[in-house]
Structure 1
């Protein structure tokens, strides 16, 4: 009997704000919320953005004036909305109108006027060029005379063609939430995102560890682009050309596996399974598949899976820009028909578009097997039953879409049919499209979804695309989709693609429903979401996500009504604890977990045995399981 991987916690941060308790989702459908929910969402963002402070549990202005939820909406709603989601890149990342670079400059001298300059001796190049003549001066200065000429590099500044990105809410900085000395931004995001997911469970991590063996915990996390800011690989590779020294941290902290390593070492203290699978823009689903596999097989009982990506750097922007993959200012102007560019509408899935929009994001989910979830009284937000991955076969262009996605999505739908029935898929499912916002994607992905819909007899299949709000966060992109899907399950709302005026003429949609407005599904509940993702190189993945009401029905059948009733009682305390964290976080107390050097395990205290291992700090031993996989091949 396969164990069911249920989602008992989720959290993180992206351009829409905090993901736990569906706050980020609410930002994307804020026009469709009731007044109180809308005001609570705005208040939480106002605190994150330092527009409002909290004094003795109450909201106050910067001048200590008490504020109600209605006051916050009246005063700050416009600023909050303008300073979230996709927008023009802010100067806290880089000045897109004046990005630093170096320009090659050739200097030459005439016969009668040799080039001379004065500098410090310690600044002379090694070895000294043959055509340089050096004259000592006072105070270790020298006069250099150039015979002929030389090539030098000089500082210069130029505008980037790409000027939009999905950025964390203005004023919210992850490095301010814990002692983040010299941590690349992607690792800062990993720490705060994993914390948010863990806190959202409403169950203390120490309590969870009391119910599992040390090796029944797993973490699968990473980043697609590594850590390319100045504290990671970016600084390491720039140092020599800038005349700086490489630090001891830039190389190790730049690794793309480091988000998992940071979570193990500083958040969980885990000695269980760890790993990071990279699949370009489908990376999160690749890691989710690993999580599902280890829970299905019983090799792990609780798994933290997610990704963190911080790609808003000049180098990454120029790299994707050189591929003509990103939406440029001129491209957007052409799409809009001239005039001043609206960068808030830069990401335009399935509409007239010109490229995708980079974004930063950190998203994590906590998975448990169904038996452990019931034992602990964990709140269940859904279940991840399958992820299917297929390559494209032979390719002409490594970045072009291919046939592998047909295999993944069709297998995902076939899998869901076995769980909820064909009619359940036809009436109660929706697709979270990759929706990258490129002209090629809008045609190829819409065609494949339309053909799969036709094959399974699905009409008016709802298709949504969260990148229209938060941009494309590369490794974390399909995690952004999952978070949005959980919000749709909770609130019964399908987000419209509101950055486009209409669906492009070349989009296939005979069997699809792509809306530019939010759609309420209160009367026809959403039971299944298909998360679709496509990545450069032929990395295709499609995941199956079940709604909580479907999961509860499955658990009642497997464990019985009596066991489910007992679970429901325990769940109330869990929900109360989770709600307490949410109320605390809404008021700016994120309680980030960062255990640097705390509770370290003494190797010498590990008790090794022939049947088990006892690890200090863990109440249960690691037991060697009997392996009968190859028993039929042995004497």
Structure 2
């Protein structure tokens, strides 16, 4: 029987906070939560942001920066508004860069001539190794020279300018990933890969060593990437800037800048894995591309455990300059025009399916642990859902690389058709929802709504609920569908599909006859949601759509596969693993993130690796790696020999 790729753990961080145990999801729907859950959500964020710490006297008592003890109610009253204002999409904070005075180099032409030269003095040691042709150098003494410039010269001056884009989806204010482990000058996205992967692993409640010992070492895989690489100063950004800034390139900037490094770091410093690994990129569909590789591995039987994710931290002036020059980002001027020059509201810079002017860039790190269903049952892993299909199609011939094409129509039609074949039409018609790409560009709102309209019309869907979470979180590029997935798991748990935030109307050119584009949360009993469709339209024609089943559907499937007695035993094991998982959640909510960083641990002693014709045995690994004993194409040679 084909293995079912079930989700047994998930975690990460984005503008809503920590993803595991649905904390980030609850920030999106905080206005629909009961008082106690709202206050617990705010407290979790307050600790993450460093506003309060947990006192030893009681688990629900907190201490503020002045040493005052706070109850949950007092914390809400004192910090509630601050926390809400310091999460989700908002004005870019000065810890990233000053959007009103962004540093740049201004070119200036200084006129000079034979009659009126420019003169200045320099220490000899500062003379360039090659003297420019228009320099006349006169020695003043053993240490100094005088330089005359007798022609016009272009110089670069340190200056500042107003940055046209002022909003982004940033991690909660005060959350500093480099402080959570010995980061050793790692680029920010690698820091977040370590934190996100750790959160996902810890969320299972099963020690990683237990999971690893349950399978052969090469039955584990990691698929992780980002599309911009590491372009901050500690990565490729610093390497490319060094010559122009007169600095030395460090030995780490080039290797740590590779976009495969998120997977490499997880293998080397989180899991200690010798299994499969890859960094698959497909622009904004990258998470789903990696997810497809993961589920294909499990369905084929090649792997039993796969960690899938992305870590993207693109809030830098250089990256944002690049997207702004394309006209892709929502600028302050564009937002002001939308609001008829009212006060600039950067909280509403991302407006999917409404009148809009561009997307809002964001940072996020999201990781999901997939497991073969039989192994999940044996280990007692809690099942949050399952991914049955990810469809990927390109756009074909295009007028330009940035225009849309037919690829996303194919992926969405395949996804819905697949779900209908599995669950029946009624389940899709009445119990499904879409996680839209919803990038908030004028072109996207038209083309994506047309796709959903046509697919809905074809499959008889009358009012198809559509979520567009970039309205809360912004667009985290490679990680965008990772954000979609963790929110979908929250919907399966709590039943609330988040409204499209910050919009007050649907644009006239949006085709919404068969769509429900909600401006209020859609609240149902959790078990009424059976399937989510994650959709991503990536730049250049990278389209992907995924089918995610709810845990209620998955458990029904597993009962049919394994029988009631086996599933009853499984539920008792889940109770134990969830006690461990909840202990981690409590510790993380109290500020102890338990980041897994295994730098400095003993590496594999290659001299003790044993190889036979049947297997490779590695020191420190419970099981050996089996070597192939048969071959798929052996029959062809046998047939050829007989002929």
1:478 to 474, 477, 481: 481
Q: Find the counterpart in structure 2 of residue 119 from structure 1.
A: 122
1:91 to 89, 94, 98: 94
User: Any idea what the Cα deviations from partners look like across 1:325-365, whole Å, max 9, x if unmatched?
Assistant: 00000000011121221000001000110000000000000
1:221 to 1:524, Cα distance in 2 relative to 1, 3 A: closer
CA RMSD across the alignment: 1.1
- Find the aligned partners of 2:597 and 2:526 in 1 and give their Cα distance: 44
Q: Find the counterpart in structure 2 of residue 301 from structure 1.
A: 304
- Find the aligned partners of 2:171 and 2:235 in 1 and give their Cα distance: 20
Q: Secondary structure at the match of 1:634?
A: helix
- Asked if 2 retains the 8 angstrom alpha-carbon contact of 1:428 and 1:524, the reply is no
- Find the aligned partners of 1:102 and 1:599 in 2 and give their Cα distance: 47
Pair 1:283-2:306 in alignment: no
Q: Secondary structure at the match of 2:103?
A: strand
User: Any idea what the Cα deviations from partners look like across 1:52-90, whole Å, max 9, x if unmatched?
Assistant: 112214411122222111111111110000000000100
Q: Find the counterpart in structure 2 of residue 49 from structure 1.
A: 49
Pair 1:183-2:176 in alignment: no
Q: Which runs of 4+ in 1 moved over 4 A?
A: none
Pair 1:490-2:493 in alignment: yes
- Find the aligned partners of 2:22 and 2:5 in 1 and give their Cα distance: 20
1:195 to 194, 198, 219: 198
- Find the aligned partners of 1:29 and 1:241 in 2 and give their Cα distance: 46
1:548 to 543, 546, 551: 551
Q: Find the counterpart in structure 1 of residue 630 from structure 2.
A: 627
- Find the aligned partners of 1:276 and 1:614 in 2 and give their Cα distance: 27
Q: Find the counterpart in structure 1 of residue 462 from structure 2.
A: 459
Pair 1:576-2:582 in alignment: no
- Asked if 2 retains the 8 angstrom alpha-carbon contact of 1:8 and 1:368, the reply is yes
> Per-residue deviation at 1:30?
0.3
- Find the aligned partners of 2:284 and 2:119 in 1 and give their Cα distance: 53
Q: Find the counterpart in structure 2 of residue 239 from structure 1.
A: 242
Q: Find the counterpart in structure 1 of residue 15 from structure 2.
A: 15
Pair 1:522-2:525 in alignment: yes
> Per-residue deviation at 1:197?
0.4
- Find the aligned partners of 1:517 and 1:139 in 2 and give their Cα distance: 77
Q: Find the counterpart in structure 1 of residue 641 from structure 2.
A: none
- Asked if 2 retains the 8 angstrom alpha-carbon contact of 1:383 and 1:551, the reply is yes
1:66-85 paired onto structure 2 within 5 Å: 66-85=69-88
> Per-residue deviation at 1:616?
1.1
The two structures have a TM-score, normalised by structure 2, of: 0.97
> Per-residue deviation at 1:146?
1.4
> Per-residue deviation at 1:628?
3.8
- Find the aligned partners of 2:563 and 2:424 in 1 and give their Cα distance: 22
> Per-residue deviation at 1:104?
1.6
- Asked if 2 retains the 8 angstrom alpha-carbon contact of 1:224 and 1:474, the reply is yes
Pair 1:559-2:562 in alignment: yes
1:386 to 378, 386, 389: 389
- Find the aligned partners of 1:370 and 1:9 in 2 and give their Cα distance: 13
| Aligned pairs, number | 635
The two structures have a TM-score, normalised by structure 1, of: 0.99
- Find the aligned partners of 1:483 and 1:411 in 2 and give their Cα distance: 22
Q: Secondary structure at the match of 1:591?
A: coil
- Find the aligned partners of 1:197 and 1:284 in 2 and give their Cα distance: 15
Pair 1:331-2:330 in alignment: no
Q: Secondary structure at the match of 2:106?
A: strand
Q: Find the counterpart in structure 2 of residue 351 from structure 1.
A: 354
Q: Find the counterpart in structure 2 of residue 128 from structure 1.
A: 131
User: Any idea what the Cα deviations from partners look like across 1:233-256, whole Å, max 9, x if unmatched?
Assistant: 111111111111111100000001
User: Any idea what the Cα deviations from partners look like across 1:300-349, whole Å, max 9, x if unmatched?
Assistant: 10010000000000011010001100000000001112122100000100
> Per-residue deviation at 1:149?
3.0
- In structure 1, runs of 5+ residues without a counterpart are none
> Per-residue deviation at 1:599?
2.8
> Per-residue deviation at 1:631?
2.7
Pair 1:35-2:35 in alignment: yes
- Asked if 2 retains the 8 angstrom alpha-carbon contact of 1:165 and 1:358, the reply is yes
User: Any idea what the Cα deviations from partners look like across 1:566-605, whole Å, max 9, x if unmatched?
Assistant: 1111010011111111111111110111111213101111
Q: Find the counterpart in structure 2 of residue 59 from structure 1.
A: 62
